[in-house]
Structure formats: C-alpha cells, structure tokens
A and B are shown apart, each in its own frame.
Chain A
Amino acid sequence: MTAGGAPAPQVEVVPLGRVNSTAAQVVAANLQALLELDAMVVEPWPEPAQALVAARGQYDAGIIMQELATPQGGPLRLGLMGKDLCVPFLTYVLGESQLGGRAAVMSLHRLSEGEGGSRAPRHVMLERAAKVGLHEIAHVLGLEHCRTAGCLMRFSAGLTTLDRLHMGFCPACQRDLTRLRMDLPARAPAR
C-alpha cells in the first residue's frame, strides 16, 4: 500500500513473508533503471500459506499470482519470496508471471547457490535477483521468451544459464518493451 493519498507506482515489489530487503530494493531499482518503470518496495505481505504445496515443500506460484494481481488500472505487482516456488508441472521455478497480465512472483531461494554446493557471493545473488525480476516483469508487460543469446528474455531454467545472460535486453526485445511501456499509465492513480 502506498502511504496516504500518494499515487501508486507502476510496479509494486511485494515482499511475501521474511525476505532479504536489500534484494527487494535491488530488484525495484533495476526495474526502474532498465525498464524505466516507476517501481517501489511496499510493506511486506504475510507468507501465502494457502499456496503451500505440503507434499513438495514448495509454494504454488500460480496461486500466489492470483492473490497479487490487481484490477486493471492498478499497479503491476511482483511478489518476492524467500521460499522455493513451483508450478504443478515443473519441479521448481525461479520466477513466474502472467503474460500480459497484472502480477509476477519470484523466489530468492535458489539464487544463493554457488558451485559444488557452496554459497554464491552476495553480489552474484543480487544480480540474479535483478535478472529474474526484470525477466518476469517484462513478461507481465507482454514480452515472450527470446532466442537471442544473452538476452534477458531468454529462458533460463537454472542458475548456469541465468548467469550467462547479460543485464539487458536484445535490440528486438528492447524495441518491443518501448512499445509495450507506452500502453502503461504513467503513474497509476491512488487506490
């Protein structure tokens, strides 16, 4: 929620339960810098217990997104979790989004994994978080996966492929993003 009657940002980064606050800030800053979206971290929401898939010890990303999605005209929302995410047919997801929709969710759970079971340096984890956040919000804006090597919209199932992506979009995706951003209201009205 935004304070008082201040207009809502274009994207709300919503921590879901206990989440690394620096990571949340980094994600929001990158959405602002690379996607030129007015993004801000809002007050945390409680962990979405209703999305827990007990048998798998993971949270169903689809259910979380339904909770996050705002009506048309409201801000886009990116949920940020410390717990692992899944969808019914995949063993895990780093992030999930509604293509051309209202919400996305991402997890920091696997982003700290280093080589051979070690822990990745903090800056690596933060860079990965920024990449996943940008990728998912670009989906929400309507962008599909891209086959161009290094482009942030290339599908990365794991950290190895995620680490190979550049912190940016290929010219074709960049062009599409510019067009898609124009469809967004400059700054969503206060709710």
Chain B
Amino acid sequence: MSTPLQVLVVDDELAMRESIAAWLIQDGQQAAKAEGGREALAMMEQREFDLALVDIKMPGMDGIELLRRIKEGHPDTLVIIITAYGSIESAVEAMKAGASDYLLKPFDPEHLMLLLEKMGRQRRLMQENQMLRQRLAEGQMAGFEDMVGGSQDMLKVFDQIEEVAATDAPVLIVGETGTGKELVARAIHNRSARSFGPFVAINCGAQSESLLESELFGHERGAFTGAVKARRGRLEMADGGTLFLDEVGEISQKMQVSLLRVLEDGSFLRVGGGQPLTSDFRLICATHRNLPELISAGEFRQDFYYRTNVFSVTVPPLRQRREDVIPLAEHFIAVFAQETGKVPPELEDKARRALISYSWPGNVRELRNIMERAVIVSKSGFIGLEQLTFLDEGPKPGSTALSLAEMETEHIRRVLQAHGWNITQAAATLGIDRTTLGRKIKKAGLRSP
C-alpha cells in the first residue's frame, strides 16, 4: 500500500469531524481532528500534515482565514475546503486563496475517493521535488536547467553556459555522442535574451546534402520534384531565437560556404527562390568530432570554424565524471517512475557498482535509456543487475540465429558505432553512399545512442 496521507480534519461539528476522520482511518490514512482554526494551527506546529480538510464555516477563525494562515506557515500542506451547497462564491474565494480543491457537503463518495488519490499524487510529487531540492542544497547533485551533475567538469560547463548566455556570440559545443550537447544549447538559449524566441534544432548528420539545404533554407513551390508547396526553412523559423546545428562536422563544404554567407550578411535565399530573406538568430553548433583535425585533413573550412567557434564549451564524457553516474541514475529513476506512476525503485549495491564501473560508450543518453528500461521492468521496488541492460555487453545467446535483413541491420549498427555515428565514414566503410546509408538507417529504425 502507498504511504498514508497525514490528514487534519478541521470542523466545529463533532459528528462531521468524527465521521470524516473515522472514514479516512478506515481508508488507511492517518487522521487527526481539530474543532477550530486555533487548535488546528497549534497541532500543525507539533507535526506536519500532508492535507488539511477545512470546513469553511466555523466560529472564530473561519475556514478561509485558516487556509491563509496554513499557506503562510505551512505552504507544503495541501488544503481542501469543505463548503455547503449554495456557497460556491466562498469555494471560489478559497481556491484563489490557495486551496487545492473544495468539497460540497455532503460529498459524493466517488468524488472524495478521486480527490484523495489526486492529493496523494500531488504529495508524492512535492516530496520528490523536496528531495531533489535538498540533494541540490547538500551538494550531492548539482542541477542546471535539465542537466544533472556535481562533478568539477560539469560545474565548469554550467559556469561556461552562464558566461556565454549573456552574449549573442556563436557557440561551438564539443562532446561525444550522448553527452547532452543539445541540453547545453537549450540551457544557453533559455538563459539568453533570446529565451522568448524559438529554439530551432536540426541534426545535420542525419540528412543528405540536398535535404539539409531545403531544411535549412526552405524552398519555393516547384523548386524540385516533390516540392508541391513553398516551405519555410529552419533559418526563417529561428528568427528572433536560436538555431542549433547538431553534428555540424558532417555538413559539406558547400553548405558551410552557404551558411557562412548567411552569418556574414544575414540574408539568404530559399531553394528555388529569388527573393532575399533575412533572419536574426543566434547560432549554436555542436559536434562530436575533432574539427581542427578535419580542417587539417581538408574536410572542414577554417573560416567557417572560426566564425562558429567564438565561444567553445566542452561537455565531458560520462566515464570522466563517474561521480555523476549515481545522481544521474537516481534522477532518471525519479523521472521515469513519475511517468509510469510507480514508486521510485531503489538501486541495489551491485547495480550501483556496475553503473559506476561501466565504460558508458553512449554516455548520459545510454544511462537514460538503461534506467528507463530498468524502471519499467522493475517489479520488486529495487533495481538489481538483472534489470540493467548495457549496450556494450557483447553478443547475447541466440543472437546468431538472425535473418539476412537482421544481419544487415546489426552490421550497419556496429559500423555506425565504430565510427561514432559519423555517416560519411560509416558509408565509406560499408561501401555505399551517404544517401543509401541514410535510407537504410531510417528503414531499420536505427538511432544514434
């Protein structure tokens, strides 16, 4: 059974007070009674209550006044106001004063039950929030926007985000796949003066050159086969906000030149269009590749690199910040338990040790996926080794009995993994072109870890 709610019933009518409290106890909750506001407040000084059921009409301090006092002194206590039929105005006043809900006397039993369930859910959420806040305060876990991490490396990243968010300069975010580069980009956007504008993201590595061009610049009707109507590109959509180019190391030199032009004079043309368009956006790029090496190899333009790399933020791989693994795992457990309506399962010691010692080739994204699955399959309230499925486990028994199509998919997945999901390199290894590889990735439903 779920943890009982600590309920305080405040009503000057003895029969009402007694019967509500008796019913709550029968329902498995913990109930205490007070016959007026003063007694209720005194009791709340002695112990904490999750919920107060307060009659609106009481001699001395009425329900609304008591509600206000509770909200001042005990803001985490939920309050439900009990009112009689015909006093809806008072109920509205109570809701404005911070009541979570109200009940019309006598209550419909089904309504009462649903309300208690709702309060139980609210209480659980509040407790989880409190727990997370407490852990933040205790320094066990540092949080920034949607990122979690208390390691020195991540604290440095958070500082850098604060620093660059105050400017409008282009930023280059560097880090392995799955380290959370997009979260860093979103955090910069959210903390910048453009936070009220759009955040438009595009993964440059997952598309062919022509598709990427159309996606970025938009196209006019009839610009190419299939362009049955004009379409705005991401550059236009990002007007007033931030454009995030993920896997920028994958874009062709021709596309780099086109983007450089946009960055320099702020205007561009849609594909098949003749009317120059302008868009005011901040550019944030991200890559898992070593761009200076690509420049040396002649695969990336130096001028585009300098233009996009005014500020640089490096996101460390998870294996370099192992102290963040458990706080992150617990964060994901709380998130997915809430999504699935479960009580957050606890990590067993063996599972903790395995999580800390694992190499994390897929970084935080892999940890997130593993914890999501673990929460779903966890039945006992604990997560043990058997609930953890690591990516880097090697072939499982029975994996040899694959069909030809499955073999192909598996081979593509391994090659992609070996090249860190660099489409160009993986396509070269596989002996097919980028477009064909892109089609096969899409068909097989493969996703970068």
**Which residue numbers of A lie inside 8 Å of B, CB to CB?**
62, 86-93, 97, 99, 139, 144-147, 155, 157-158, 161
Contacts and interface: CB of A to CB of B under 8 A. Distances in A.
A99 B105 CA distance: 23
Contacts of B108: 90-91, 157
Interface stretch (B20-28, B214-222, B266-274, B277-285): B20-28
Interface of B: 1-2, 13, 15-16, 19-20, 22-23, 25-28, 82, 105-110, 112-113
Nearest to A143: B26
Interface of B, helix, strand, loop or mixed by DSSP: helix
B106 A157 contact: no
Nearest to B28: A144
A125 B16 CA distance: 31
Contacts of A161: 110
Contacts of B22: 99
Given A99-B25, A145-B28, A157 B16 contact: no
A90 B106 contact: yes
B175 to A, nearest CB: 44
B1 A90 contact: no
Contacts, number: 58
B121 to A, nearest CB: 13
A89 B27 contact: no
Given A62-B15, A99-B26, A144-B26, A90 B112 contact: yes
A110 to B, nearest CB: 11
Given A88-B15, A89-B19, A97 B26 contact: yes
Contacts of B1: 146-147
A161 B16 CA distance: 26
B54 to A, nearest CB: 13
Nearest to A161: B110
A117 to B, nearest CB: 18
Nearest to B111: A157
A14 to B, nearest CB: 21
Contact of B106 (A88, A99, A144, A147): A88
Nearest to A172: B1
Contact of A90 (B25, B82, B107): B107
A45 B28 CA distance: 32
A156 B113 CA distance: 9
8 contacts: A87-B23, A88-B19, A88-B106, A93-B109, A144-B28, A145-B27, A157-B108, A157-B112
Given A99-B22, A144-B27, A145-B27, A88 B16 contact: yes
The 10 closest A-B pairs by CB, nearest first: A157-B109, A157-B110, A144-B28, A145-B27, A99-B26, A91-B106, A87-B19, A88-B15, A88-B16, A90-B109
A108 B112 CA distance: 22
A17 B26 CA distance: 28
Given A90-B107, A144-B28, A157-B109, 17 more contacts: A87-B106, A88-B13, A88-B15, A89-B19, A89-B105, A89-B106, A89-B107, A90-B108, A90-B109, A91-B106, A91-B109, A145-B26, A145-B28, A147-B1, A147-B28, A157-B113, A161-B110
Contacts of A87: 19, 23, 106
A139 B15 CA distance: 20
B315 to A, nearest CB: 43
Contacts of B13: 88
Given A87-B23, A88-B15, A147 B2 contact: yes
Contacts of A88: 13, 15-16, 19, 106
Contacts of B16: 88-89
